[in-house]
Structure 1
Amino acid sequence: MKRRDFIYLTGLGTAAALMPGIPVVGKPIALEQTLEGVDPAKKKQMADVALNAARSAGATYTDVRIGRYLNQYVITREDKVENIVNTESYGMGIRVIANGSWGFAATDNLDNDSIAKTAALAVTIAKENSKILTEPVQLAPQKGYGEVTWKAPIEKNAFEVPIKEKVDLLLAVNDAAMKGGADYINSYLFLVNEQKYFASTDGSYIDQDIHRIWPTFFITKIDKQSGKFETRNALSAPMGMGYEYLNARPQDKIKGITTLYKGRYDMLEDARLGAQQAGEKLTAKSVEPGKYDLILDPSHLWLTIHESVGHPSELDRVLGYEANFAGTSFLTLDKWESKKFNFGNKNVNIVADKTQVGSLGAVGYDDEGVQCKEWDVVKDGILVNYQAIRDQAHILGLKESQGCCYADNWSSVQFQRMANISLRPGKEKKSIDDLIRNVKKGIYIIGDGSFSIDQQRYNFQFGGQLYYEIKDGKIAGMLKDVAYQSNTQEFWNSCAGIADQSDYRLGGSFFDGKGQPPQSSAVSHGSSTAHFTGVNVINTSRNIG
């Protein structure tokens, strides 16, 4: 949880206090209402009112987003249900260009008169903004797609699953953890359904249905004699999937120390092991600081990718648009222009992909009506591209947007957000065991933890959930108090090997904060387990204060 996210999320609802890092947004609605839809023909009619009104008021370009955002929260603690909440946020955002400048306005009154007035207001704002404009907006060309639909390829709509089934699962998870020795456990299920309709003067009418799911828990184990405690959070990844995510299959299981599945999640098994591992952490050996080889599981590496690759390759950060709030980037344009900037070694290939099935950021079209795609950011260790949207594409000489524009709500203006940024797997057949076998002195890290990174996304420190000492190619026992320090270039140049596609998994952030006023987006980062050599490890218990 980032500090800027915390500032944004506090005060968003009483249930949020029971769910660390999860905001409650929208008004409460009845469960059965979450299954109701809005007729696309009705949405097209409303969009046309906005498009025509904006044109009449002087807009040279207009796009309209009609959004229905549904959330469901199921919250438990030990043997109790703490809360069950269903919320809805529904309205329209209208963005225009007039006199070469952007303008935006939004409304949740969706009668024709209110829509027309909101469109006129957006144009008025654009014209006022143009008075201080230094350069007119330059939009990359974008063809219209006509009337199209895109639906997330889910197998089971989680909103249709009875609440009792969800509660029974979470209480069973809690029971398994308590029987395994946990003293406390909170478990949660958070569901999202975004029903988004986009229309523009380019000629697109795009109806999309997007689903996300996040099952998670937080276990605490206390040493009764010393009063010390350890925690173990769920190793689940939030996913762009339906309820099928919770139906782990035998063929999905990856051999390892803890519960690791490819594309599915066994929450019960994770809770049982989580309680056991929290107890083991109480008696684990405290790490000796020094240089170690690191074997980083995808459940951990996703966050390092997010912070050290995802954020610095966002073009708006590179250009300084985020400097006041979130920082800038060490990946300045001159490094890209040189065509030889050494981001990492030849093992490092980073791809941006808004189409990856099961990922949090997967959609058919972004919030500018651009069809989503995949592109290289780092190729054979060299920086080759950034993440850009329609009004930035010309800066990079691109003929089209890369399709990574997003708004977290109908009432928020869309802007450049991180695509799914992932490390490509190794090309040679290689397992986790193969990587460990090559390490003389190292640490195997599983799960994400606390982290710190500077404003340019260069110098950093990362912790995790579980740490295992490696001696002479074998696991030698559990460690604790581990964090590693490096800088982005040094770290990615130390990548000695990556497991193959069979180990590839997604991690991700359900709430990545950015912008003023702040918005939150969901994004995934994939990788296989990777080996990094000679990384500086500190003992966190000796570095307090």
Structure 2
Amino acid sequence: MQRRDFLRMGGAGLGALLLPSYGNAVAAEVLTTKIDVAVKKRLADVALNAATKAGATYCDVRIGRYLRQFVITRENRVENIVNTESVGTGIRVIANGTWGFAATSDFSDDGVAKATAEAVAIAKANSKFQSEPVQLAPVKGVGEVSWATPIVKNAMQVPVKEKADLLMDVNNHALKAGADFVRSIMFLVNEQKYFASTDGSYIDQDIHRIWAPLEATAIDKQSGKFRSRAGLSAPMGMGYEYLDGKPSGRVALPGGAVAYSNSYNMVEDAVAAAKQARAKLKAPSVKPGRYDLVLDPSHLWLTIHESVGHPTELDRVLGYEANFAGTSFATLDKWKSGKFKYGSDEVTIFADKTQPGTLGCVGYDDEGVKTQRWDLIKDGVLVNYQVIRDQAHILGLKHSQGCCYADSWASVQFQRMANVSLAPGNKAIGVDDMIKDVENGIYIVGNGSFSIDQQRYNAQFGGQLFYEIKNGKITEQIEDVAYQIRTPEFWNACVGVCDDRDYRFGGSFFDGKGQPEQVSAVSHGSSTARFNGINVINTARSLG
């Protein structure tokens, strides 16, 4: 499922679509339970001992319990409430210098031992075709440790009725504010993940994520024309406290829009969405041409994701994903030169899986590597990629960067995007300062549809809200805006980034990659940034 199509799916259909990948339906009460860590350690030891005995030189075990809850509504009705659980063990080994993997939902000692033997047999069979042995960057075992998302309120423990009542309140307020149609959804995720390896690690992690998307649609009944505005919340690595609507999470934006950072008032956003969707019906269409763009973090996160996050994944650079998810223009020769200007001097972009509240924040990745922060682009220059243990030697690194992930115990872990973010500017600059000397520009809020080529070089991005800027002031709301970029030209056109007072996160709950496809959740932070001389097209004219 593509992100751009996500909120366009019908509520009931969406729930049915998601169910197969997320396990068996269970009662809501099951979502609040855990497996005894002693049981997980015993099963892990069964696998580690069986792998070593069968001739494996390395083994890691992931015992996973993946819990999901979806509450899906539209207008005055709840369309679906789904609780799912998926539990099992994945065993990855190296034998004869080659990877092997197998998984089982059998939690008996015999079941785990049998799956381990299968993983070793697969590795030995594959070794006949291996051109060179796997080279793992060293990882020091950490013994028995635990890590948990620092939540205030476990969303799984909140009664379903309370969640449904909130969404019904959201919908009612949106309808009263002028929406003809509205949908609101709540997604809750709890990944209970236990990792053990022959390096000597036994890591127990309890990871929580939350997302509450909405969309309001207004119709001009005379013309049949309609416009929609999606919610401006971000999916977060937080508990139910994210939905408490505290004023501290509210960020007033130019043009009358409101964004949210560490808490989200869903009712307030739904009312604004309804009013702004109706205002879109009367907004004039943009005149194509070159504009200076001022991009809010609620919009810029997706541009970062597609034009920096993906092309700096080393497996893309090496062509490993060419068959499905694409390659990358940011090839090794550009990195080796030490001079490739990915962006202007204003642009420093870093990867970080330690930022609290982000979707990718964990203590350890799915290879038992402690998570970290590192620069990808420093003062505009490409300086690094995103790598895991068996890729580190390619860049001459002595350690993994801790960005290995699997979306299920039944999936083999591989390189996935870390939180990739644009660093705030060093000068004290607010959004109004960024706008005040723009003579002919557009201010964009929220992410919309997009397209991008397989090398992440040529792209086009839309948004949710567009405001014309004339002579340093926002004049009116406009419509039908999309901008076209060539990635390095776009980032070299960045002339300023607001300071950390404006720093906020956006993110993707369902970022797809790999074959068979896996999804991961990843955040992207930034402050508002300005890009000069960007080509803007009129999407209404483009469509016909």
Q: TM-score higher than 0.5 here?
A: yes
CA distance in 2, matches of 1:387, 1:478: 39
Amino acid at match of 1:438: D
Matching of residue 474 in structure 1 with residue 455 in structure 2: no
CA distance in 1, matches of 2:12, 2:225: 29
15 and 117 in structure 1: CA distance in 2 versus 1, 3 angstrom threshold: farther
Q: Which residue of 2 aligns with 1:247?
A: 244
Amino acid at match of 1:408: D
Match of 1:68 among 51, 65, 69: 65
**Is the 1:353–1:373 contact (alpha carbons within 8 Å) kept by the matching residues of 2?**
yes
Residue ranges of structure 1 left out of the alignment (5+ in a row): none
CA distance in 2, matches of 1:327, 1:24: 23
Q: Which residue of 1 aligns with 2:441?
A: 442
- Per the TM alignment, residue 3 of structure 1 is displaced from its structure 2 partner at its CA by 8.3
- Per the TM alignment, residue 21 of structure 1 is displaced from its structure 2 partner at its CA by 7.9
Counterpart mapping for 1:291-440 below 5 A: 291-440=290-439
CA distance in 2, matches of 1:115, 1:402: 29
Q: Which residue of 2 aligns with 1:166?
A: 163
CA distance in 2, matches of 1:251, 1:394: 45
What's the CA shift string for 1:278-301, capped at 9, x where partnerless? 000001000000000001000100
Task: Determine helix, strand or coil for the equivalent of 1:139.
Answer: coil
Q: Which residue of 1 aligns with 2:483?
A: 484
CA distance in 2, matches of 1:233, 1:3: 13
**Is the 2:219–2:226 contact (alpha carbons within 8 Å) kept by the matching residues of 1?**
yes
Amino acid at match of 1:299: S
Amino acid at match of 1:2: Q
Q: Which residue of 2 aligns with 1:133?
A: 130
CA distance in 2, matches of 1:5, 1:440: 35
User: Over aligned residue pairs, what C-alpha RMSD do you find?
Assistant: 1.6
CA distance in 1, matches of 2:259, 2:417: 26
- Per the TM alignment, residue 76 of structure 1 is displaced from its structure 2 partner at its CA by 1.0
Match of 1:234 among 227, 231, 235: 231
Q: Which residue of 1 aligns with 2:464?
A: 465
Q: Which residue of 1 aligns with 2:120?
A: 123
- Per the TM alignment, residue 37 of structure 1 is displaced from its structure 2 partner at its CA by 0.7
What's the CA shift string for 1:152-201, capped at 9, x where partnerless? 01111001111111111100000010001101111100000000000000
**Is the 2:56–2:93 contact (alpha carbons within 8 Å) kept by the matching residues of 1?**
yes
What's the CA shift string for 1:450-499, capped at 9, x where partnerless? 00111100111000001000111111111101000011111001111111
- Per the TM alignment, residue 253 of structure 1 is displaced from its structure 2 partner at its CA by 2.3
Higher alpha-carbon deviation: 240-249 or 292-301: 240-249
**Is the 2:215–2:273 contact (alpha carbons within 8 Å) kept by the matching residues of 1?**
no
CA distance in 2, matches of 1:23, 1:436: 47
Task: Determine helix, strand or coil for the equivalent of 1:131.
Answer: helix
Amino acid at match of 1:482: V
Q: Which residue of 2 aligns with 1:177?
A: 174
- Per the TM alignment, residue 272 of structure 1 is displaced from its structure 2 partner at its CA by 0.3
Task: Determine helix, strand or coil for the equivalent of 1:496.
Answer: strand
**Is the 1:5–1:512 contact (alpha carbons within 8 Å) kept by the matching residues of 2?**
no
Q: Which residue of 2 aligns with 1:289?
A: 288
83 and 21 in structure 1: CA distance in 2 versus 1, 3 angstrom threshold: closer
- Per the TM alignment, residue 18 of structure 1 is displaced from its structure 2 partner at its CA by 4.9
23 and 300 in structure 1: CA distance in 2 versus 1, 3 angstrom threshold: farther
Match of 1:197 among 194, 203, 206: 194
CA distance in 1, matches of 2:299, 2:177: 24
CA distance in 2, matches of 1:20, 1:133: 37
- Per the TM alignment, residue 23 of structure 1 is displaced from its structure 2 partner at its CA by 7.3
Task: Determine helix, strand or coil for the equivalent of 1:92.
Answer: strand
CA distance in 2, matches of 1:363, 1:532: 33
Task: Determine helix, strand or coil for the equivalent of 2:259.
Answer: coil
- Per the TM alignment, residue 535 of structure 1 is displaced from its structure 2 partner at its CA by 0.2
3 and 448 in structure 1: CA distance in 2 versus 1, 3 angstrom threshold: closer
Q: Percentage identity across aligned positions?
A: 67
Task: Determine helix, strand or coil for the equivalent of 2:300.
Answer: helix
76 and 357 in structure 1: CA distance in 2 versus 1, 3 angstrom threshold: same
Count of residues in correspondence between the two structures? 540
218 and 20 in structure 1: CA distance in 2 versus 1, 3 angstrom threshold: farther
**Is the 1:15–1:24 contact (alpha carbons within 8 Å) kept by the matching residues of 2?**
no
**Is the 2:11–2:74 contact (alpha carbons within 8 Å) kept by the matching residues of 1?**
no
CA distance in 1, matches of 2:451, 2:481: 14
Amino acid at match of 2:376: V
Q: Which residue of 2 aligns with 1:522?
A: 521
Q: Which residue of 1 aligns with 2:39?
A: 42
**Is the 2:426–2:499 contact (alpha carbons within 8 Å) kept by the matching residues of 1?**
yes
- Per the TM alignment, residue 217 of structure 1 is displaced from its structure 2 partner at its CA by 0.8
- Per the TM alignment, residue 22 of structure 1 is displaced from its structure 2 partner at its CA by 8.7
Match of 2:88 among 83, 91, 103: 91
- Per the TM alignment, residue 248 of structure 1 is displaced from its structure 2 partner at its CA by 2.6
CA distance in 2, matches of 1:234, 1:490: 30
Counterpart mapping for 1:140-151 below 5 A: 140-151=137-148
CA distance in 1, matches of 2:198, 2:462: 48
CA distance in 2, matches of 1:540, 1:291: 15
Q: Which residue of 2 aligns with 1:27?
A: 24
- Per the TM alignment, residue 14 of structure 1 is displaced from its structure 2 partner at its CA by 9.5
**Is the 1:248–1:261 contact (alpha carbons within 8 Å) kept by the matching residues of 2?**
no
What's the CA shift string for 1:63-116, capped at 9, x where partnerless? 000000000011111111111111100000000000000000000011011110
**Is the 1:405–1:415 contact (alpha carbons within 8 Å) kept by the matching residues of 2?**
yes
